[in-house]
Amino acid sequence: MLACTRCGHWHSDAERVLDKDLSCTEVKQYWSKINSEHKELYGHPAKMTTDNSGAPICFECKRKLL
C-alpha cells in the first residue's frame, strides 16, 4: 500500500518491517505496541521522532524503535 498522506513514512516504515500491506488502523496498532514495549523496557513512553538517517527513534533516550 502506498503510504497515506496522514501517516506518511510512519505507515511505510511499519509495512516494511512487517513485510505486508497494512490499513491505517493496523499501523496505529503497530506503533502503539512499539510504544508500550518501549515504556515497559525503559520506563517512559517513546517520544517518537526520526534521526538524521530517517530511522524512528525515541527523542528522550535516542534508542531506535524498530
Could you state, in order of their start, the residue ranges of all structural domains in the chain?
Answer: 27-66
State the pLDDT at residue 24.
86
Tell me the average confidence (pLDDT) per consecutive run of 10 residues in the chain, 66 residues long.
64 88 89 94 93 91 90
Count Cα neighbours of 18 within 13 Å in the Cβ-side half-sphere.
17
State the pLDDT at residue 60.
95
State the pLDDT at residue 8.
75
- Which pTM was predicted? 0.78
State the pLDDT at residue 1.
45
